[in-house]
Chain A
């Protein structure tokens, strides 16, 4: 099978990788790019642990071919911290609200929450639950995850109104 050169932007940096045309974006991100936050939980788009943003929208990277990433802009959890390691408000909210237990689903949930917290639309708890229903968590019962997203979203809306 052939390898193909893929050029894309990952966490703000232009990257080039030779990938097996059969490999998934998850495999490329974990393997070639060394981005271990992209978790491998099912390989078939059921659990959401491998969620990353592609051009701003959440995708299960395990069922997205690496070659489809040509020209795309990809954001993983690693891209949320700045170069000095300062973490974003949504990551801090996951810590503060106790939304983390085993932590395996956490990167996927945080990535799925980005479109919510960056939206102008004030999502209610039920709407948040619907938006994150593609990510499975067996530890938390979701309550504190919803708390963390809701809190960050409200904070951002408040900040936008103030500025």
Chain B
């Protein structure tokens, strides 16, 4: 029996290692490719580890365009969207969670409908709308359309609904205004959900390729994913090692944020009880 038990343990461990490998494969591949020569990238059978670690690939990727501009644009766009989404999403979620008013369900339904519209479907009318406002080729074209998030409203509403009514009533008895209740009571109680939503939003807009591609065509307002795609085109044939070094630059900042915030993520989904 102890033998069987031990074998089962090993099987479990092997199974989990397989699962882990499946999860990390694209990341590991991207990381290793970033430091290979082009010859090593395209050779068959594939070679996992680089013969010599070519750290200069990262420098080459960075130097092949105005990457500092792309980087700061990405930071500015992703952070501005995040702040605007919090400022518009928190009051909306609070109203949907705690107030009874005429048309509440209808308006909430409307925002959920928006949750399910892929950007590819609406980009053409939005593009025309923004060009009428003369915002194409500005960072506003990347920020404004995402300044409210239906997913954020939905997630925060779920979290706010879980706060017991007695706590809110107690705050009202203490003369707290609705804004104070919302910002000083509800928001701190929903912290894991806020962190998780913030992370999701930041990652999505940091990695977004489609929207900046269709809304900008000048280097001054381009973001990192577009810069990396241009890298692919400017190298003639596809220089995967340089492209992946560019992608490494793209992924590293969010990996760092992810390390700092990842403990909050599961708590958020347990807390908000999305259902």
Binding partners A and B: no
